[in-house]
Amino acid sequence: MATDIRLKESLPEITEAIVATYTECRHINHLGHKPLPSREAISDILADFLDILYPGFVRRQNLHMGNVEYHVGDLVDGLHDKLTQQIARALRHECENDKDLPDCERVAQDKTIELLQRVPDIRNLLEDDVEAAFLGDPAAKSHHEIIFCYPGLEAVTVYRLAHELLLLGVPLIPRMMTEHAHSKTGIDIHPGARIGPGFFIDHGTGVVIGETCDIGKQVKLYQGVTLGALSFPRDAAGNIIRGMKRHPTLEDDVVVYANATILGGDTVVGHHAVIGSNVWLTQSVEPYTVVLLEKPQLRIKTPDQRGAQGFFQI
């Protein structure tokens, strides 16, 4: 008991030491009276959007044309308020050193309305994405199975929302959205990537799509594909130069098989090309090209060729 008391008496000293770092490690604090966007709120906003984008599949059941307008109207009304608040927080944080601070609530409301106005177009894109998944995967029994079960579709759906917010100039929140999807699906799509309709990620785990990727129509990726940067250009002082194209371009109807890595902003994969599994590609390829690794040499030993303990003798 005495030991427990002595240990507890040390807690104020521990607290003081931790708080002392808050003036030293300034990049990992946010102290003050301007709250940042909330991860929980962004998760809730995404759930509302999924209910709108895929009515009847997510939270609310028994929807039909007689009641769906009321249901969607209620969600849109709620999203207006939730998203306006979170965007205003993000804008306020972005402009906190700006002497001419804009009316963040008004700007946030305008951007929220613009995003909501784009939802019909986003649904048209997602219709193409679902159809591409159904046509591209013989294991898919129905379009409904894809919506219910395919993590690639969820990641792409969140990306399409986040991408529109990024185009509207909203800071922080687009990345928060795609990182939320990343944590759920294992698929990492930067909201800055530009991806055409009919995009399908099969299986999906481990896919990485960088910020400056350009992906055309009807492109298909398998699990473990990386569309990344070959290197980071730096200025004379050694600082990374931002805003340059660092990630590859995939033209229409490209297929990239599992665990392939395609790197570099100057790398263009021509339309209808096929990139095989485990390929490492840092140069452009012409349309209709097939890029494959040479078939590895297999060594197969029968049971009587094994060692006494059952292990292969190499």
23-44: pLDDT as tens digits: 888 888 888 878 999 999 999 9
- CA atoms 168, 169, 170, 176: torsion sign: positive
Question: Confidence band (pLDDT; 50, 70, 90) for 297?
Answer: confident
Q: Taking the CB of residue 125, how many other CB atoms lie within 10 A of it?
A: 18
Sign of CA dihedral 50, 56, 58, 59: positive
Please write down the HEC assignment for all residues of 158-181: HHHHHHHHHHCCCCCHHHHHHHHH
Residue pLDDT, tens place only, 169-186? 999 999 999 999 999 999
Q: What is the mean pLDDT of residues 253-262?
A: 98
Domains of the chain, first to last: 19-187 (1.10.3130.10), 193-294 (2.160.10.10)
164 has pLDDT over 50: yes
- The residue with greater pLDDT, 239 or 260, is 260
Which among 273, 277, 281, 301 is positioned nearest to 227, based on CA atoms?
Answer: 281
Q: Which residues pair with 261 in a beta bridge?
A: 226, 280
The residue with greater pLDDT, 254 or 233, is 254
Please determine, for residue 308, whether its predicted confidence score (pLDDT) is greater than 70.
no
Sheet holding 249-250, edge to edge: 194-195, 214-215, 249-250, 268-269
- Compute the average pLDDT of residues 38-54: 98
The pLDDT score that the predictor gives to residue 263 is 98
Backbone torsions φ then ψ of 240, nearest 5 degrees: -60, 130
pTM, two decimal places: 0.90
Question: Residue 202: which residues within 8 A CB-CB, separation 6 or more?
Answer: 133, 136, 137, 152, 220, 221, 222, 223
Q: 92 pLDDT exceeds 70?
A: yes
Q: Give the percent of the chain with pLDDT over 70.
A: 94
Which pLDDT does position 73 carry in this prediction?
Answer: 96
Give the mean model confidence (pLDDT) for residues 47-73. 94
Could you give the CA distance from residue 160 to residue 154 in angstroms, rounded to a whole number?
Answer: 10
Query: What per-residue confidence (pLDDT) applies to 214?
Result: 98
Query: What are the phi and psi torsion angles at 176 (to 5°)?
Result: -60, -40
- Average pLDDT of the chain, as a whole number: 92
With a cut of 60, say whether residue 313 has pLDDT above it: no
Q: Which residues contact 88 (CB under 8 A, 6 or more apart)?
A: 104, 105, 107, 108
pLDDT tens profile 200-247:
999 999 999 999 999 999 999 999 999 999 877 778 788 888 888 999
91 Cβ contact list (under 8 Å, min separation 6): 102, 104, 107, 108, 170, 171
Residue 197 CB neighbours (<10 A): 17
Question: Tell me, what's the pLDDT at 6?
Answer: 72
**Residue range 7-18, pLDDT digits in tens:** 778 898 999 999
Alpha-carbon distance of 24 to 22, in angstroms, equals 6
Token pair of 298, please? 């297999």
Spell 154-190 as b/e; 16+ CB within 10 A means b: bbbbbbbbbbbbbeeebebbbbbbbbbbbeebbbbbb
CB 111 within 8 A of CB 168: yes
Average pLDDT over residues 70-82: 97
Q: What is the pLDDT of residue 314?
A: 45
- pLDDT score, position 2: 62
User: What is the rounded average pLDDT of the residues 153-164?
Assistant: 98
Res 80 pLDDT > 60: yes
Separation between Cα atoms, residue 156 and residue 46, nearest integer Å: 13
* pLDDT tens-digit map of 94-149: 886 665 667 899 999 999 999 999 999 999 999 999 999 999 999 999 999 999 99
Report residue 198: phi and psi, to 5°. 70, 35
pLDDT, residue 98, reads 63
